[in-house]
Structure 1
Amino acid sequence: MIPMMLIASFLMFVVISFSGDPLAGLKTMQPPPPPEVLHAMAVKLRLDQPLLDRYWMWLSGLFVGDFGPSIHNIDIGAELVKRLGVSLRLLALGIVLAFLMAVAASVIGAVLQFSWADHIISFVAVAMISMPVFWLALQLKRLAISINQELGFRLLYTSGDGAGMTASTPWDRVLLLIGVLALPTIALSMQACGKWSRYGRVALIDALNSEYVKLARAKGLSETRVVLAHGLRTSLAPMLTVVAAGGAVILGESVVTETVFQWRGMGDLLVTGIQNNDVYVVLGWLLVAGLIIMVFNLIADILYAVLDPRIRYER
């Protein structure tokens, strides 16, 4: 992971450095700012330094928690930590929900192959894959508004990440947490669930048709144990590959989801950084996103050996 992060950080820095002029917004202001102001801002953003020197200053600063200067004088490191805590709630819950629903759909589809239940699950999965995240999020907001109006109180929150909201009792806090997380989590997990369930169904069907599963049936094991202990456990390994590879997609979709539901998480930080041409904010976001994706793949690699006894990592 360390050499991959170094290579990724250098490529990100080069691409972002050549993507545009960070001072373009200031230069187009009317009336334009004095040349002294532009020069001072260029020095602050290290634009007067060669590209490799700027990269080294940024990279070496990361080891002491300095993510570089911001146009709007924000502490990028502290802001990333705060926003990451907000986004990880949505990401973790969305991935877990999508994975559990995909596993359940895979088992039903594989065990009841070509039945009416399998056809319905396949149709729903394709429908979920076809729905853009922003469209689904908007429809969920409309549905939530109607539900709240029918109930006469706010059960589901259509905007905000819960920051600053208080509840008087533990039960009210639970309802508040559910109300805030429900809509964004569903919007984020639906498309991933559809994709993963299709892969999981095929993998489980292959596993159930293998020789060792036929042997398990011949030994008199119950069908439930054959499917869950032998077939499902083996089929989860290729499914984890798809989940790990889809981490980047879910991370990108979380930006859209947070924007629609007005969460002040990593997605909002990225959008604001792009709009303000805040180069080091965008670089910090990309660095954290790259690290998250690599951690997903690392966890998947470790779980391979846990799920499949034929795989062992040795020196």
Structure 2
Amino acid sequence: MLAYALRRFLISVPILIASTFVVFLMASLSGNPLNQLMAKNPPPPPHTIELERQRLHLDQPLLERYWNWLTGIFRGDFGPSVQSTMDIGSEVTSAYLVTLRLIAAAMLIALILAVIVGVVSAVKQYSGIDYTFTFTGFLFLAMPSFWFAILLKEAGISFNNAVGDQVLYTIGDSSVYVSGGAWAQLADTLGHMVLPTISLALISFAAWSRFQRGSMLEVLNSDYVRLARAKGLPRGRVMRRHALRTALIPLATVTALDLGSIISGAVVTETVFQWRGAGHFLLQAIQRDDVYAITAWLLFSATIIIVLNLVADLLYGVLDPRIRYA
């Protein structure tokens, strides 16, 4: 297992480097970071524009800029921002810490719901429960993430107005000032996470529950499960020990592959609920044509996706002992 994990990690490194080059190339060619400076009225003198061009390394060839940026990452330098006072490394890290708590909570809830709904639908195939779960899953699949987030936000506002108190938080990832110590701050943070987490979790759960249902049906009809039943093993043990563990393998794969969609969904959800997380950081960087900030954001995203795909590969051997890593 250790050798397999090491090989997978070594394979992931060139993939990550290749993705950084593609991202840096696309971000560099997508806009001119000096546009906002040159659009000022009155226009700045040419000497000022040239100094800014040198500070942003725009006077260097593209490949040289990429190499300097890539080697600078190992020193904690993610490149100069259009905003001269901003440290890209610390800003993108802080933004992602806000977003990762939303993604982690949403994925956990979505996975639990997907497994429960998928297993029940498979066991109760073509029953009223199965049709109800199927309809619900397709309903959430058809909903655009931004529209569902807006509906939840409006519902939260209406609920607060109805009860005459701030029960559901609809703006921001935390309150500006919270009194009462660490527990009060934790409660405030969790309160702000309720609606965005529900929005992101239900959209993700819909697709995963369908995968889990199909996988569970395939496993239930396999020979070794029928043999376990014929040997007289308890139904619950057959479901947990023999069927469910194997049926979770496709779900682990789909979850890892869908992580990019979850991050993009988190960007939309954060925008609706006005969180100052990774989504806000990315949108601000795009508006400023801040090449190094955009590239840093995409680098963090690519790293998270590659790491979780590696974790999914390692989970195969845990979920199904028949899988061996030679």
Same-fold call, TM cutoff 0.5: yes
Structure 1 residue 40, shift from structure 2 partner: 0.8
5+ residue gaps, structure 2, are 1-11
Give secondary structure in 1 for the equivalent of 2:30: coil
1:293 alignment counterpart: 305
> Is 1:6 the counterpart of 2:17 in the alignment?
yes
**Structure 1 counterpart SS, 2:302:** helix
Q: Which amino acid aligns with 2:250?
A: P
Deviation by residue 1:282-310 (Cα, 9 ceiling, x = unmatched) = 01000000001101101100101100111
Deviations 1:22-73 (A, max 9, x none): 2122223332221111111110110100111101110110001000000112
CA change 1:204–1:46 in 2 (3 A) is same
Q: Is the 8 A contact 2:72 2:79 kept in 1?
A: yes
**Residue of structure 1 equivalent to 2:180:** 168
Higher mean C-alpha displacement, 80-89 vs 19-28: 19-28
1:67-96, CA deviations, whole angstroms, 9 ceiling, x for partnerless residues?
000011200001112111111100100111
**CA–CA separation in structure 1 for the residues paired with 2:159 and 2:48:** 53
**Residue of structure 2 aligned with 1:29, choices 36, 40, 56:** 40
Q: Aligned residue for 1:302?
A: 314
Q: Using a 3 Å threshold, how does the CA distance of structure 1 residues 163 and 87 change in structure 2: closer, same or farther?
A: farther
Give the SS at the match of 1:18: helix
Q: 1:257 aligns with which of 247, 253, 269?
A: 269
On the 8 A contact 2:173/2:189 being kept in 1, the answer is no
Partner of 2:4: none
User: Is the deviation greater in 26-35 or in 225-234?
Assistant: 26-35
> Are 1:18 and 2:29 an aligned pair?
yes
1:195 offset after TM fit, Å? 0.4
Supply the RMSD in Å over aligned alpha carbons.
1.3
1:178 to partner: Cα distance: 3.1
Is contact 1:155–1:175 with CA below 8 Å preserved after alignment? no
Note the C-alpha offset of 1:274.
0.3
Check whether the contact 2:175–2:188 (CA below 8 A) recurs between aligned residues. Answer: no
* 2:313 counterpart of 1:283: no
Q: TM-score under structure 1 normalisation?
A: 0.96
Aligned to 2:221: 209
Q: Deviations over 1:123-169 (max 9, x none)?
A: 00000011111111111111111221222221110011115342426
Q: Which amino acid aligns with 2:260?
A: A
Q: Which moved more, 1:29-38 or 1:277-286?
A: 29-38
* Separation in structure 2 between the aligned mates of residue 150 and residue 177 of structure 1, nearest angstrom: 23
> In 2 relative to 1, CA 163–36 (structure 1 residues): closer, same or farther, beyond 3 Å?
farther
Percent identity of paired positions between Structure 1 and Structure 2: 45
Match for 1:56: what amino acid? W
Indicate yes or no: 2:156 matched with 1:144.
yes
Structure 1 residues 17 and 141, CA, compared in 2 at 3 Å: closer, same or farther?
same
Aligned partners of 2:25 and 2:158: how far apart in 1?
48
Using the TM superposition, name which of 225-234 and 244-253 deviates more: 225-234
Give the aligned residue type for 1:64. Answer: R
For structure 1, the 5+ residue unaligned runs are none
Summarize the alignment of residues 46-125 of structure 1 with structure 2, pairs less than 5 Å apart: 46-73=57-84, 74-125=86-137
User: 1:67, 1:176 → 2: CA distance?
Assistant: 32
